[in-house]
Structures are given as structure tokens and as C-alpha cells.
Structure 1
């Protein structure tokens, strides 16, 4: 998926990730850097029979007083939140390393960050209060001092994905951090190519793509959608100022979307999407993100070209993907969790909550979450980005009960240090990277949608 894809069941061209297999050290409570390389895990998972066995690379990320991040190894025993814990490794209720002075620079920044979210947190139902606070801390640990959030802190995830940043920015704006959200989107604005495309990911230090994987068209639409959402949280002069600051991103993305779809009348270009594998046909994920951007442009400007382009492309999506049940591709590929992108990004009325709820069955995995798609490798793994995206789609589509059910599942499958992992194995154990920024953002946005319902 976004960062560490197991191979789908159907044959695809050779993956672009080229990492060597790394192994986790058996001893020590703290992992200094990284875990299993993303590309190596994909190659390994291609040979895994039945239910996969994947390590939990870290239980969380701890930050010391100077802002240095450390991956904390999972405590011995069960990895799930709620298990008996070992000796303290974090300051209680935080992601600060145990013993971090309260007056240290990082502790002061953390206090300010969480403090500004307190008004929002106070409105979260009690049964999700700890989940919400943990997700806020996860976002802080993966963004503090960086130009935009990195996906995770393990080596192969320590990059900025435009898609993830879009969702993180919207979540940050909703919980009281519109200024930080604008900073992150302004960074995407600086990274965007003149033709409106984005690379799959970027180094947070150099701003360069770390490898030669293909560019992805979903970032264009999602960045425009996120910008419109963040601007929409502002009013008066702050709204006008935010609009001016992000105007290059808005205009470049809008023009790219209209140009690529001939003003909404044709399919967008073939591109990898959140599965991050080479494609030979346009996928539902690219369609949904393109529509999200076009409709956002229409809401922002309300002018004929933007509005007409969005309406035309909505018809293209419905007539091309709708007759065969909104599968991954227009006529094939099976169910895809990208269906949830539609309602999650405000493209309502294309599918109903019942079609979203059906993903719980068609994409079900043994532990209770979902896989990215029906053709995804059947290794028993639930993916929290897809599961949390479905929760967000259901919440914004008006299915509060369905969204709460998924939030409860996510809450129950956090690590023992409270972070949301990337994967959950068939036996319910959290696995791979923790925390994961996109999942944390989706959880916060789902809670926000429920708060407003």
C-alpha cells in the first residue's frame, strides 16, 4: 500500500522499491534506526504462505528534550494496547522519552501542540478520548521540526508522501492547527512540479525524490482538496491570507487536473496510486482523487470552468466505473478500499453507505480490519490506512455507527505504547510501522466528522 506493499494476487510489473532485507536486533529496548526494508518485505511477502508473520518494527516513537526521535522496540509479550506494560519508557500520557525535562525545548513544543488541540479533544466522546489524544501525539512526533509529516520514522517510511500530507493537513486544521497545516501545504506547493504533478515521496531534508519510482497523479487532486479544506476552516482575513499563500498550489493543481482530463470529459492519465505498483489502466484511486481536486476547485472558485469540469468528470467516473460496481479498474480488479476516498473527500452521492459497508465483507481480514483491495495478497493482514479511510468515508457519508465500529477496532489494535500501527496480523497483533501518520490523520478526521454529525 502506501509505504510497504505486499504484492497483490494478480500479476503486476516488477515493483519499483529496491531495498535490501534488514532484520531487527533481538536485544535492547530501543531501535536506533529503521526495521525491515519496505522493498525487501514486499519480496518476502510474495513467498509467504497463508497468514503472514511480520514484526512490529517499533511500538512508538519517543522524542527527547532536544527533539531527537527514537524508535522504541515493542515490550516483550503481547504488542497490543491494554496489555500489562513493562518499565516506563515514556513520560505518562505523552510521546516524550521518560526523564525528559518539562522545560526542555521539545517538551515545551509538545505542550503547545497538544494544548492547542485541547478544545477539540474536549468534544471527543469519552470512549474515544485516549485514541484521539494518542493520534494527536502521533502526528506531533512525525511532524515536529519537519517541513511536513513523514509517513513513519522507520527508515523506509521517513519520507513525505503528498497523499499522506494532504490528509494530515486537513486533520491538523480541524483540531486547531490551521497555521501548521498551511505550512505543510506550502511545502507541498514548493515541491510541486510546474506541470502540477508530484513525485511519489520526498526527502524531508533535501526535498528530492529518494528513488526513481514513477510520479503519482493522485497527489495533485488530494493536495488541492486539502488546501480547499484547510482554507475552509478559516474566516475573514485569515481565510483570505490562507488563500493568497496557497494560490500557486491551487492554480497549478487546478490547471493540471483540467488539462489532464480535457476539462473533465476524459479519464486522467494512468498512474500508480496508493497501492504504489505500476498500472496499465486508470484506477479508482486516481479517479477519486482527481474528482476530489476538481470539486474542491469548483467550491473555491465557483466559476463556470471549474464547476463544469467537476460536474463533467463526476459523470465520467459514474459512467465508466459505475456499471461494473466501482471496481479497482473500470471493468475489473474487484473491490478497492479507494471507494472510501469519494465520501472521505466530499464527493457524496456517488455511492451509498451500504456500498461502503460492503467493503467490510469483500475486503475482510481475519482480525477484523480490511485489505486495500480484493486482489490484494491474501496474507491475513489488515491495513490500518484502508480501515481508517473507510471509517472516515462512512462518517462523512452519515453512517456514524459504521464509523464508530471501525474506530473501536482501531483503538483495540494499537501498540502497547498506544500508537496506531500500519498493519494488524491475523491474530490481532499490531505489525510493521508504528505510528503511521496517515492512519492517525484519518482517525482524527473520523472523530471530527462524528463530532459534527
Structure 2
């Protein structure tokens, strides 16, 4: 969910400062279409606002997927993109030259994840195994040849969000690619400021930002959490992880403790995954902070870090428990961020009734959920929130509910099998596809279900 309020990243950015065309080309290596796009977006936005008044937003599907075209360039497929025939089960054009190095990279990826896919197929039903296969392809095409995955491939999504990249790193490690996961986290280590903060997003392969969005504190906690996830993945040398990511670990943990006064106070107010300016700390920022503090203790093992995580747990409960963990301490309604704690392995903080009620309280007509209860009534389901809920339910032990949420996601992929960002009131996929954060959440949830399956 990478929007100012995930409602529509593309629309908001029409008014935000943008990098020059040359800058974007240099960073992404992709020629962007131009003529008439601005007018089309304005017309689409006007139609959308009219439709939203009745809870039936009409939002176009920008692409059915992303794939390498015959020239070897990544491109949108379907929707606003090219009309390509793909090799079955891949994100590569059928007429991509046989000697293209892209085939070798894709095949190496497939070979590396094959043992994980076989384990999933042997323990879970075929629909979940199939969903995992397409999520893997989505994650591959949005990360191949890049230091870290981009959120999506449409122009206003083609950036590295630290939050998304952290979840992607965790997923890569779990599916059998720990070295690739370490590369992603090493890139975040290079991006992190000396004060421990991250910017909201970055131009891929650079430390540059595309606009003036305020920086976001949740990236610090999620990055540290991802280090622990990678360190805990099968076959990973924990000492090597701690050595290569020592600066990220030390800087993040120091920042989390300093900015919460060793857990005694709330973290700084900043935008979270809704990506809008806030006046009060949100549950999402609190969840990311606690996930980071607990991960920090798991990595260092010190009594001091254990105490900080325990004190901050009490701080979170003191501020949010009395009002059933709403978006803000005393208001805001249910927030899908309530699933973040269980999703990051922080158990028994969010009460089970709060977690289990999210599917109903945030329900949208097509069966998915909105980011929050106070979200506009436009009928749109958001797959980042739905996949995050699936992950939280899985790690909390609610396997039936998690499987059902994943089944809904599987049923609402595009015609090419990619996971979209949004699903409309009538079940149609919309906006961008694929979306890296959704794919990562799905893979982590499937992995957990396969690990606990008997």
C-alpha cells in the first residue's frame, strides 16, 4: 500500500514533484510512454470520484502483469501495456531470443526455489501451491537485476520502498534465496541515514528520492525485523548475517531505543503504510517499532535489549489496548495494521478477537478488506492489507482463516496470474499488477502454513 492514503498513488503523484524524464530513464532503464497520459489520468480520476460516491469505484487495470518483452526490456503487459504472449508460467515473452541472458537468470531463480515449491506442493492443497508459484514469478520480475525489488512497474510505483523491500527480503530468504535476501538488506543498509531513518522511497539503484514525501519511521523497525527473518531462515549462517549487516542492526536498534527512550514512550509521529501525513502515532508505526525491538534483542541477546522490547510492549498496550487497538490510540477504527504484529511474529499482543474481526470490520463487497474501518466507502479491496491479514492469521495459528484469505487472493489474480493492488466491488482486479509487497506477504503466509502442516 504505497499511497498517501493508499487510495491511489498514481492520482496523488500527478501533483507531486517528479524526477526528470532523463533521471527516471537512467535509474530504471525503461523508456516511458508519454503522449496523452496526463489527460487520460485526469479523465479516469474524474470518473473514479463520481463512481466512489456510490461505493462502486471504477478504476482501470493498468497491467495484467509485467514481463520481459522480445527486446529484453521489462514492460507492462495488458491494460495500458503491451499485448504479449508469454511462456507458460513465466514473466518472459514467448519470442524473447533463446540466447537472452534473461532466460538463464529466470531458470536459476526457478531452480533455487524448486525445493521450496516441492515442499509446499507436498504439504498444501494445489490452489495454494499454484498461488505461491505465481507470487514467486511476480517477485522475480520486480527484482531481477535490481539491488532491491521495486513496488510495481507502473511509472509511479517503480520505486524502492524500505517497508516493501524488507518484506521481500524475508520472503526471498524463506523460499530458498538467502543470498539474494542479504543483497536486498545490504542495499537498505546503504540507504539508511546516519540517524537510522529511511526516506519514504527511492529511485531504484540510487539514494535519490523522487519527491518531497516525509520520511517514514516504520522502515527502521521493518528493516531490523527482516534481518532477523533472514537470519532465522533454513541453512543461513546467523553469524554471517550479523557480520554483513552489523551497521544496519546497530543503527536501527540504537535509533529505535533512543526514539522511544528505551521503550518507555511512543515513537515519532510519521506516515506509515497509508502514506499520508499524521498528527498522531499510528498502530502501524507502533507495530513496526515493536517488531524491530524484538528482532534486535533476538539478534543481540542482551538483557538491555530484552528490557527495551518488554517496556515498549507495555507502552503499546497502555496506549492502544483500552480502545481495541484502533488506528490511533483512542480513535480511527479498526486498521489492517493490527495484523502486522502477528505477521512479524509478535504474538499475544493483539487479542485474538481483534485479529479475527478484521475480515468482517474491514470487509468490502468483493470479499477482501480495506486498509481501515475509516477508509472511504468506495467498494475497493486492497491486496496488501488482505495478504498481511493472511500472514498474521497464519502465524497466529488460525490456519483455516489464513487459507481462506489466501484462497480469496488466488481467485482475484489477473488473467496472467499476477496479484493486483486492488480488487473492485464486483471482483475485477484493478490498478497495478503485480505488486511486490502483496507477493511477499503471500509467500511468507504460504511458507508458514507449509511449515506447520501435518
TM over 0.5: yes
Note if contact 2:173-2:181 (Cα within 8 Å) is conserved in structure 1: yes
Matched, 1:159 2:164: no
Taking a change above 3 Å as real, the CA distance of residues 66 and 169 of structure 1, as seen in their structure-2 partners, is farther
Tell me the distance in 2 between the aligned counterparts of 1:66 and 1:231: 38
Residue 19 (structure 1) shift? 4.9
Taking a change above 3 Å as real, the CA distance of residues 6 and 88 of structure 1, as seen in their structure-2 partners, is closer
Q: Secondary structure at the match of 1:369?
A: coil
Tell me the distance in 2 between the aligned counterparts of 1:7 and 1:44: 15
Structure 2 runs not aligned, ≥5 long = 18-30
Deviations 1:107-137 (A, max 9, x none): 1100100111011011222222221111000
Taking a change above 3 Å as real, the CA distance of residues 256 and 67 of structure 1, as seen in their structure-2 partners, is farther
Tell me the distance in 2 between the aligned counterparts of 1:344 and 1:44: 36
Tell me which residue corresponds to 1:83. Answer: none
Tell me which residue corresponds to 2:272. Answer: 273
Matched, 1:100 2:105: no
Deviations 1:270-303 (A, max 9, x none): 0000000110000000000000000001111110
Tell me the distance in 1 between the aligned counterparts of 2:425 and 2:293: 39
Note if contact 2:47-2:58 (Cα within 8 Å) is conserved in structure 1: no
Matched, 1:147 2:152: no
State which of 8, 13, 18 in structure 1 corresponds to 2:15: 18
Q: Secondary structure at the match of 1:117?
A: helix
Note if contact 1:57-1:154 (Cα within 8 Å) is conserved in structure 2: yes
Taking a change above 3 Å as real, the CA distance of residues 298 and 43 of structure 1, as seen in their structure-2 partners, is farther
Alpha-carbon RMSD: 2.5
Structure 1 runs not aligned, ≥5 long = 9-14, 21-30, 77-86
Note if contact 1:147-1:183 (Cα within 8 Å) is conserved in structure 2: yes
Note if contact 1:343-1:397 (Cα within 8 Å) is conserved in structure 2: yes
Deviations 1:167-189 (A, max 9, x none): 00000000000000000000000
How many residues align? The count is 427
Matches within 5 A, 1:196-235: 196-233=196-233
- TM-score, L = length of structure 2: 0.89
Matches within 5 A, 1:106-255: 106-124=102-120, 125=124, 126-233=126-233, 238-255=237-254
Tell me the distance in 1 between the aligned counterparts of 2:356 and 2:415: 29
Tell me which residue corresponds to 2:21. Answer: none
Residue 33 (structure 1) shift? 4.6
Matches within 5 A, 1:33-112: 33=33, 48-50=52-54, 51-64=56-69, 67-74=72-79, 89-112=85-108
Tell me which residue corresponds to 1:286. Answer: 285
Tell me the distance in 1 between the aligned counterparts of 2:16 and 2:118: 43
Note if contact 1:272-1:279 (Cα within 8 Å) is conserved in structure 2: yes
Q: Secondary structure at the match of 1:338?
A: helix
Residue 45 (structure 1) shift? 5.2
Taking a change above 3 Å as real, the CA distance of residues 206 and 6 of structure 1, as seen in their structure-2 partners, is closer
Taking a change above 3 Å as real, the CA distance of residues 17 and 295 of structure 1, as seen in their structure-2 partners, is farther
Residue 154 (structure 1) shift? 0.1
Deviations 1:408-450 (A, max 9, x none): 0000000000000000000000000000000000000000010
Matches within 5 A, 1:331-410: 331-410=330-409
Runs of 4+ in structure 1 deviating by more than 3 angstroms, as ranges, are: 3-8, 31-37, 39-48, 64-67
Deviations 1:147-202 (A, max 9, x none): 10000000000000000000000000000000000000000000000000000000
